[in-house]
Structure 1
């Protein structure tokens, strides 16, 4: 497969992965461009691999991790005030999606990356470990912590209930 064929076939998928990782469309395009430039420089070697896409995906993830480590400050989404409407909101699904997106973006870098690779890219723990250069058990533990944090963000009573149990003893 030639490089331009690869980009035509997988380019948009890479941009979507970059978006889910970074939460920013422009940053996603930059990450994709950086990963593709890296792949282009080494394309003779990359195209001979069993799975060239795995190489480019890892380059994109590494670019995201590197950029996040370099950044000196992080933007945090503004929390919207709670609505005092007594009737159900017809846009409940949208707001729940938005709340989950905000919780995902607030996860620590490695946890967010593991969750995206697991549930967006549908990679198993062994593949995630290979992409991130970590042990498979670390990938599983990180996914477990991240899912617990997302559950707690979705239902604050989970955390409150845990604190209440702790205060009783």
Structure 2
């Protein structure tokens, strides 16, 4: 029988700190993309990563060869989904106004796009992670890509100091 490791185990702490040093930046970038916050002003993303890493640390001894990054990413995605979406009239809507490069996407579209493109998770694993059918994930991904690649046109800026031409 193995002795129970305590939270003040220095080897466990060093191992986890090494993991965070290697994965923390990427996890924060992922969370920032999910929340659509600005890169230098991302309190929601930082909070999500902190909670996901705390959960991973709490489970550290039970991972038994499981990829800690995959575990943290799953927790991060679940926390984002629970915090960013709420049911209102059967639709998923964001609670706050995103401002980042993926701001035009819905929270669900951002989640699928970030997991698929930035994290490199295939469609089947993304579907399993989110508890959605593979076809639904594919549809969401395609819609998100279309939105990102063909953003809505903005109105032309107003020109000041120009008189209207009489007709």
Fold-level similarity (TM above 0.5):
yes
The partner residue of 1:50 within 37, 54, 66 is 66
Larger Rg: 2
Q: How does 1:4-15 map to 2 (within 5 A)?
A: 4-15=17-28
List runs of 5+ in structure 1 lacking aligned partners.
78-97, 157-169
1:67 alignment partner in structure 2: 83
2:109 alignment partner in structure 1: 111
Runs of 4+ in 1 over 4 A off after TM superposition: none
List runs of 5+ in structure 2 lacking aligned partners.
1-11, 87-92, 155-167
Which TM-score applies when normalising by structure 1?
0.67
Give the number of the structure whose residues are more often strand, by fraction.
2
Distance across 1 between alignment mates of 2:81 and 2:138 = 19
Query: Is the CA contact 2:84–2:95 (under 8 Å) kept in the aligned structure 1?
Result: no
RMSD over aligned Cα atoms: 2.4
Q: How does 1:83-94 map to 2 (within 5 A)?
A: none
Distance across 1 between alignment mates of 2:140 and 2:123 = 10
- How many pairs were matched up? 131
Residues 132/72 of structure 1: CA separation in 2 closer, same or farther (3 Å cut): closer
Which TM-score applies when normalising by structure 2?
0.68
